[in-house]
């Protein structure tokens, strides 16, 4: 079950990767249309305003079509074969589901407690999916329907029909089965989802009223579950789903950012739900403290080498919000340190929330600046400064806590290993040395070759998947899988082992590595 949940969580990240850029586009265009900054150029009739109005509309694409993107994106990670065809099948079937649902509610909406004559949005519980007025099931409904279609695809795509029915094989057969499956799905949704919408509304009220405790628990779970890959299930319903606000925090924040920026009232009063999206602060302020602690506790003769490794990993975390290269370094050496990291991250977010900090801050510095600090600075500079000051205080706290624990328990962080051990977070030099067996003109292929060999060869591979930074592989026999050192030769930051399920922490190049990996299996 854990293996399936991890694969599911990893697949969810495919559409999530699109939101960072889209959010920056929206944030910057809103900034460029601000009359307080750009004066007369930012008035609606000016060419400057019109140009950025056009660009902003393009930036809204992923926010306005979120359910559709999640429905189509899941097959990329979960389909076992013919991924492109699975995406097409899911798109057609998800639209069919919404047409069925719309028709049922139009004809018998009163019996289900739904008034289809209302306008979409607000408290109506209705939305628009690709021009279809339907019940707003958010990404929850999209993911559920997508999962059903993927299961049908994996089971029936290769079904051989009699020759005279050959035209209905493959994607057509999957779409036919899905067509009839969507009728009961639509009926069940019409019956159940209005009740769920009421429960969600109640949960939103509870989470908002819980305030500091709710923010702490959310942020702690989002961090502590990273090693399992299940953290997607924590932030997904909050950031992209209806857990605390309709449409998710990312969409709601972007839509209302101009009003928040123009208001003089504290943003926390206007949008208290924004406390559930502060987890990116640990990437900007926490990781530098951890890196500094690792550096100062390294042996004097190894500090220069350690510094070179830590600078790139720390900058990646701060700027892009990708923390796994550094987090997994100490996670595998001393898991207790990761738990401490999760506690400190949750505490920092809670303190910031107590001082009025809210927003959409799940990524790195670029994302936080463009979507929060720059647009809000004119009327909310005090909150921005409070956030930065609290963050820097926690950088110091992180440093002293990690330094104390590393020295107290003699933890072998980089630079503190045995004399003959190599100092590294990861290295590509090792696998490039194997020129006789590797294709060094393609570094991704080199990595794929090493990982495949370390996993016991292609005969031992059962399933392959990936999330943002990890190659997820299920094997037939875990005894054939080599030690972590074998994976580090291919540039892996670490390996998560759970029975026959393995996660190789590759980094942001994991899509390219997976492509080569699957090609090797098929050869």
Write out the catalytic residue numbers: 467
341 C-beta neighbours (distance < 10 Å), count: 26
65 HSE (CA, 13 A, CB side): 19
For 127, the token pair is: 């939305």
d(CA 214, CA 354): 12
Give the long-range contacts of residues 405-411, CB within 8 A, separation 24 or more. 405/334, 405/336, 405/337, 405/340, 406/293, 406/294, 406/297, 406/337, 407/297, 409/334, 411/330, 411/333, 411/334, 411/337
Contact 260, 249 (CB under 8 A): no
Displacement of CA 501 from its chain's centroid (Å): 20
DSSP per residue, 362-429: -S-HHHHIIIIIHHHHHHHHHHHHHHHHHHHHHHHHHHHHHHHHHHHTT---TT-S-TTSPP-S--SH
d(CA 307, CA 207): 42
> In which element (H, E) is residue 92 found?
helix 83-108
d(CA 392, CA 386): 10
Displacement of CA 226 from its chain's centroid (Å): 11
What sign has the CA pseudo-torsion 259, 263, 269, 272? positive
For the beta sheet containing 470-475, the strands, ordered from the edge strand earlier in sequence to the opposite edge, are 461-466, 470-475, 501-505, 494-498
Q: Which residues pair with 463 in a beta bridge?
A: 474
Alpha carbon distances (Å) from 103 to 114, 146, 418: 12, 20, 69
Nearest of 194, 81, 181 to residue 136 by alpha carbon: 194
Rounded (10°) CA dihedral 342, 344, 347, 353: -90
Burial zone of 60 (CB within 10 Å; 0-12 exposed, 13-18 middle, 19+ buried): middle
> In which element (H, E) is residue 258 found?
helix 249-262
Nearest of 423, 404, 426 to residue 414 by alpha carbon: 423
Rounded (10°) CA dihedral 209, 215, 216, 220: 140
Exposure class string for 293-323: b at 16+ Cβ within 10 A, else e:
bbbebbeeebbebbeebbeebbebbbebbbb
């Amino acid at each position: 079950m854990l293996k399936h949940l991890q694969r599911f969580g990893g697949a969810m990240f495919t559409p999530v990767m699109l939101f960072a850029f889209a959010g920056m586009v929206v944030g910057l265009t809103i900034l460029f249309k601000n009359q307080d900054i750009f004066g007369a150029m930012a008035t609606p009739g000016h060419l400057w305003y019109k140009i950025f109005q056009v660009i902003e509309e393009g930036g809204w694409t992923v926010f306005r079509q979120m359910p559709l993107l999640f429905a189509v994106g899941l097959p990329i990670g979960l389909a076992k074969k013919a991924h492109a065809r699975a995406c097409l099948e899911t798109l057609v079937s998800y639209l069919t589901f919404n047409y069925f649902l719309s028709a049922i509610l139009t004809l018998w909406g009163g019996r289900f407690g739904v008034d289809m004559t209302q306008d979409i949005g607000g408290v109506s519980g209705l939305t628009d999916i690709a021009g279809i007025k339907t019940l707003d099931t958010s990404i929850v409904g999209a993911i559920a329907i997508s999962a059903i279609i993927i299961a049908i695809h994996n089971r029936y795509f290769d079904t051989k029909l009699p020759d005279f029915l050959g035209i209905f094989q493959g994607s057509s057969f999957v779409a036919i089965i899905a067509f009839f499956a969507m009728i009961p799905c639509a009926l069940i949704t019409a019956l159940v989802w209005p009740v769920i919408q009421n429960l969600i509304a109640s949960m939103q009220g509870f989470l908002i009223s819980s305030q500091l405790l709710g923010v702490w628990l959310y942020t702690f779970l989002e961090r502590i579950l990273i090693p399992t890959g299940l953290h997607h299930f924590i932030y997904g319903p909050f950031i992209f789903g209806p857990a605390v606000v309709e449409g998710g925090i990312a969409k709601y924040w972007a839509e209302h950012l101009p009003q928040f920026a123009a208001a003089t009232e504290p943003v926390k009063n206007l949008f208290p739900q924004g406390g559930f999206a502060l987890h990116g602060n640990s990437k900007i302020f926490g990781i530098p403290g951890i890196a500094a602690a690792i550096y100062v506790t390294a042996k004097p003769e190894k500090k220069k080498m350690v510094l070179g490794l830590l600078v790139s990993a720390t900058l990646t975390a701060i700027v892009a919000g990708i923390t796994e290269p550094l987090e997994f370094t100490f996670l595998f050496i001393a898991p207790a340190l990761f738990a401490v990291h999760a506690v400190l991250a949750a505490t920092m977010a809670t303190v910031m929330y107590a001082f009025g900090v809210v927003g959409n801050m799940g990524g790195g510095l670029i994302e936080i600046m463009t979507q929060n600090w720059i647009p809000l600075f004119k009327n909310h500079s005090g909150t921005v400064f409070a956030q930065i000051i609290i963050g820097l205080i926690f950088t110091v706290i992180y440093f002293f806590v990690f330094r104390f624990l590393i020295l107290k328990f003699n933890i072998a962080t980089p630079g503190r290993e045995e004399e003959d051990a190599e100092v590294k977070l990861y290295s590509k030099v090792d696998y490039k040395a194997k020129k006789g067996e590797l294709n060094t003109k393609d570094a991704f292929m080199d990595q794929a070759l090493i990982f495949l060999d370390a996993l016991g060869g292609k005969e031992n591979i059962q399933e392959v998947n990936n999330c943002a930074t990890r190659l997820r592989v299920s094997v037939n026999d875990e005894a054939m899988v080599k030690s972590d050192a074998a994976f580090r030769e291919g540039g892996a930051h670490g390996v998560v082992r759970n029975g026959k399920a393995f996660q190789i922490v590759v980094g942001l190049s994991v899509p390219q590595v997976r492509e080569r990996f699957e090609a090797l299996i098929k050869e």
